[in-house]
Amino acid sequence: MDTMTPARIDFRAMGTDCAISVWSSTHAEDLARLARTRVEILEECWSRFRATSELSLLNARAGQGPIEVSEDLHALVAAMTRAWEMTGGAFDPTVGTAMRAWGYDVTFADVITRNHDAAVALHPAPGMAGVAIDGCTVTLPSGVELDPGAIGKGLAADIIAREIHAAGATGVLVDLGGDIVVRGRPGADTWRIAVTDERSPELVIHTFEITDEHAGIATSSVLRRRWAGTRHHVIDPMTGAIADTSAVQVTVLAPSGADAEVIATAAILSRNPHSIFHQHGVTGIALGADSTAHTMENAHE
């Protein structure tokens, strides 16, 4: 049996704990180091918390016509548009203004420290309908602010896993704060990804065993990233309010990290997460407020 040991690198990026494992007979450490570099490049481009990021520049120039963007930012906006269309607007990256109003306009560590609890005037998110992508330019309508929060990590993991695998790694696992993408094979083994209850991180409620060559797994939850008592980071784009969800945690296994993240967001916003799993043909786990009431649906069976 092939007992290849992966090169693993752990680090902080994108406001969360990240881990990248690379399986390769040689140069695994080099590839893992390069994967980390790629995370940092994407963060510099996509972060809404860095004033110098390319996304911040694009948001600041909303309403001013087409802006030429880099390949990476173009990929992000294209993925956002596709995800918005694919979910009928349930996934909406234009909730940035509402998120800011609710107090999540700085890194989460600062959000907790500040504990912003001022009243918020509710407005529906403007949506992606007015966002135009043409060649290498993007046009944002006035008042639209893009927030990569519910797609950026999954998409970044997709890009990195694809590039590192293409360079010759036999297997790659990119974990950006729990949004996971796998590619290739972990030696002679299969991929196993555990799902835990956010309230009891040591309790594994399910393990996905993946035999496919590539997959993405993401979890959306209202149990983490909470502040000012009842506030959390899942915004209902239809109202601009903090979402009142039936499930408290949703995990999705999909063909890509971006899809997994987007569908998990749409599912947690839905009163019936299973209908969202079925609609997109993915496997998902929805955990109710009663932690014993988790269910699973394999849409392929």
Partner 1 sequence: MTKPRTRGGAADKAWSIGLAGATCLGLVGLVGVRTITDTSVDAAPAVEEATSSSGLTRADLDAYANALDAQSAQLDNYRVQLTEAGHQLQAATGKDQKVAIQQVKKRKNFVPRPQAAPQLAAQGKTRSS
Least distance from partner 1 to the Cβ atom of residue 272, Å? 20
Least distance from partner 1 to the Cβ atom of residue 68, Å? 10
Q: Which is nearer to partner 1, 84 or 191 (CB)?
A: 191
Q: Which is nearer to partner 1, 110 or 189 (CB)?
A: 189
Least distance from partner 1 to the Cβ atom of residue 130, Å? 16
Least distance from partner 1 to the Cβ atom of residue 12, Å? 13
Residues 39 and 113: beta-carbon distance below 8 Å: no
Measured over all CA atoms, what is the biggest interatomic distance in the chain, rounded to whole angstroms? 61
CA–chain centroid gap for 28, Å, is 26
Cβ-based neighbour number of residue 150 at 10 Å: 26
Single-letter amino acid, residue 123 = H
Q: Which is nearer to partner 1, 146 or 180 (CB)?
A: 180
Single-letter amino acid, residue 235 = I
Residue 18 to residues 40, 100, 143, 172, 179, Cα–Cα distance (Å): 11, 25, 33, 14, 9
Query: From CA 257, how far away is CA 159, in angstroms rounded?
Result: 9
Residues 63 and 143: beta-carbon distance below 8 Å: yes
Q: Which is nearer to partner 1, 87 or 220 (CB)?
A: 220
Least distance from partner 1 to the Cβ atom of residue 21, Å? 7
Q: Which is nearer to partner 1, 63 or 122 (CB)?
A: 63
